[in-house]
Amino acid sequence: MAERGISRRSFAKAAVAIGGASALVACLDRGESDPIPSGPADLSTLPSRQHAWNESLPTDEHGNVRTPYHHLLLYYDYDDGETTAGATTPTNGERETVEDALRSLERAYEHSSDGLLFTVGYSRRYFDRYDDSLPESVDLPRPEALAPFEDPERDEADAVVHLASDRPAVLLEAEEALRGNRETVNNREMRAVLDDVLTFRERRTGFNGDGLPAERDDVEGVPEDAVPEDAPLYMGFTSGFRGNQATEDRVTIQTGPFEGGTTQHVSKIRLHLEQWYEQDSRSQRVSKMFCPAHAEEDRVEGAGHNLGAASGANACPAHVKDARESGVVGHAQKNATAREKGAPIMLRRDFDSTDDDRAGLHFLALQREIGDFVKTREAMNGTDAAEASSAVGTRHNNGILQYMTVLRRGNYLLPPREKRALPRPS
């Protein structure tokens, strides 16, 4: 079978990116037919926080949580996309349909990376159709540019569903069922269809896992044989160490009607890997990703799995000092300055992508307030480092800014599970 001119093997590898029923068949043909564990009969045993995934994910020998290998983002609007305050608001019957569809997935698949993990989030524009406003305990601004040198488009779909699993077939099957293209999921009845209430707009896909980017180096913008075999991400380094991630508690909203929820930022980023791999030496890449001291002391072996449970970025010299003395500042080094009382404030669950047949990354992060994301992104801009040294520019020698372009940004509220179906603002 050839699909869009590619071999059967490549088709199975790219199945999540391609999507649809024939991609699902290709996955199953490839041997992905081991039984998939099903979910609990009693759904009240599931966590009330939609973002409580860590307990259900595997950890490595250092206690680092491993994010699922495959990811899917489904964007939906409640109506025709023309909503303003006072426009149509969801009915209780529609809430029930959404909840039934989500519960069907929970019954069908174990809450794990071998089964399925998912969240549903809502944008500011979704809530603006109501007369009431969101409570003060929720910080959910419309998305905007966060650096003087970027001009992203705003993602303002009403809702986004983030699905994640180690099994491509699970994502494809769940998507087909939500869209009404199949009646069962993991041999269980799909009791409702999301697309009966919501208008599907767009899908985005990706992956994060050792070896997956190297296997997917046949898209535009990836130099041949450049991506290391042991790297979970295209830029060649591992990310998401236990010591450098916020806890789920830290990102949880503590008060008000959305107590137990969180906020999600999702940006679509294009990566410039030709520059990254062909213009810089490995030592420069380590300086720019971590900090110059990591490069000088040869602290990072391969993709950096040897670092253990923390990147060590908070122990790097002050970034402004490095800007003056080394003429380079590191990405992790700058971002660590946004911590609060020494502890990270953002929980990153980002993943690489071949969407648009280009190397990219969907930067998905959870934080109690979108303001925590904005503050971290300001730290990443490294304006103070650029002002302190002529060698550091707005993007040049300034972490990884030169190697990425933010194309789109979106902000969402992930309500607690009980309020996840078309929530009211209060």
Is 344 among the residues that bind ligand HEM (CB under 6 A)? yes
Cβ contact 76:204 at 8 Å: no
Question: Could you tell me the smallest distance in angstroms from the CB atom of residue 299 to ligand HEM?
Answer: 12
Of the candidate residues 239, 263, 381, 397, the single one contacting ligand HEM (CB under 6 A): 239
Q: Is residue 264 near ligand HEM by the rule CB under 6 A?
A: no
240 binds ligand HEM (CB under 6 A): yes
Binding of ligand HEM at residue 52 (CB under 6 A)?
Answer: no
To which H or E segment does residue 420 belong? none
Say whether residue 361 binds ligand HEM (CB under 6 A): yes
Q: State the Cα angle at 333 between 332 and 336, rounded to 5°.
A: 80
CB nearer to ligand HEM: give 113 or 367: 367
Residue with Cβ nearer ligand HEM (36 or 336): 336
377 binds ligand HEM (CB under 6 A): yes
Least distance in angstroms from the C-beta of 67 to ligand HEM: 11
The answer to whether 372 touches 379, Cβ cutoff 8 Å, is no
Neighbours of 185 (CB within 10 A): 24
Is 329 an interacting residue with respect to ligand HEM (CB under 6 A)?
Answer: no
Asked whether position 235 contacts ligand HEM by CB under 6 A, the answer is yes
DSSP type of residue 335: H
Q: How far apart are CA 301 and CA 282, in angstroms?
A: 11
Query: Rule CB under 6 A: is residue 285 a binding residue for ligand HEM?
Result: no
Should residue 289 be labelled a site residue for ligand HEM when binding is judged by CB under 6 A? yes
Closest separation in Å from C-beta 190 to ligand HEM: 35
Q: How many residues bind ligand HEM (CB under 6 A)?
A: 26
The smaller minimum CB distance to ligand HEM, of residues 49 and 265, is found at 265
Q: Is 237 in the site for ligand HEM (CB under 6 A)?
A: yes
Contact of 294 with 256, CB cutoff 8 Å:
no
Tokens describing residue 79: 């109506």
233 in contact with ligand HEM (CB under 6 A): yes
Q: Which of 125, 363, 366, 412 binds ligand HEM (CB under 6 A)?
A: 363
Placement of tokens 């649809």 in the chain:
20
Asked if residue 352 lies in contact with residue 213, where contact means CB atoms within 8 angstroms, the answer is: yes
C-beta of residue 265 within 8 angstroms of C-beta of residue 141: no
| 167 touching ligand HEM, by CB under 6 A | no
256, 137 contact by CB (below 8 A): yes
Chain residue at closest Cβ approach to ligand HEM:
244
C-alpha angle with apex 258: 253 to 262, nearest 5 degrees?
40
When asked if residue 178 is in the footprint of ligand HEM (CB under 6 A), the reply is no
Q: What is the identity of the amino acid at 316?
A: C
- Binding status of residue 142 toward ligand HEM by CB under 6 A: no
Q: Does 277 bind ligand HEM (CB under 6 A)?
A: no
Is the distance from CB of 403 to CB of 279 less than 8 angstroms? no
Contact between 328 and 284 under an 8 Å Cβ cutoff? The reply is yes
Given the complex with ligand HEM, which of 22 and 314 has the nearer CB atom?
A: 314
Please check whether residue 239 is in contact with residue 348, taking contact to mean a CB–CB distance below 8 angstroms: yes
* Contacting range for ligand HEM; rule: CB under 6 A; set: 110-118, 162-170, 335-343, 386-394: 335-343
Residue 361 burial by Cβ neighbours in a 10 Å radius (0-12, 13-18, 19+): buried
- 160 interacts with ligand HEM by CB under 6 A: no
Is 295 an interacting residue with respect to ligand HEM (CB under 6 A)? no
CA distance 242 to 227: 24
Cα 380 to Cα 403: distance, rounded to the nearest angstrom? 13
Q: Which of 346, 370, 413, 421 binds ligand HEM (CB under 6 A)?
A: 346
Residues 394-413 interacting with ligand HEM (rule: CB under 6 A): 400, 404
Q: Locate 346 and state its tokens.
A: 């953002």
Q: Which residues bind ligand HEM (CB under 6 A)?
A: 233, 235, 237, 239-241, 244, 269, 289, 311, 313-314, 331-332, 335-336, 339, 344, 346, 361, 363, 376-377, 380, 400, 404
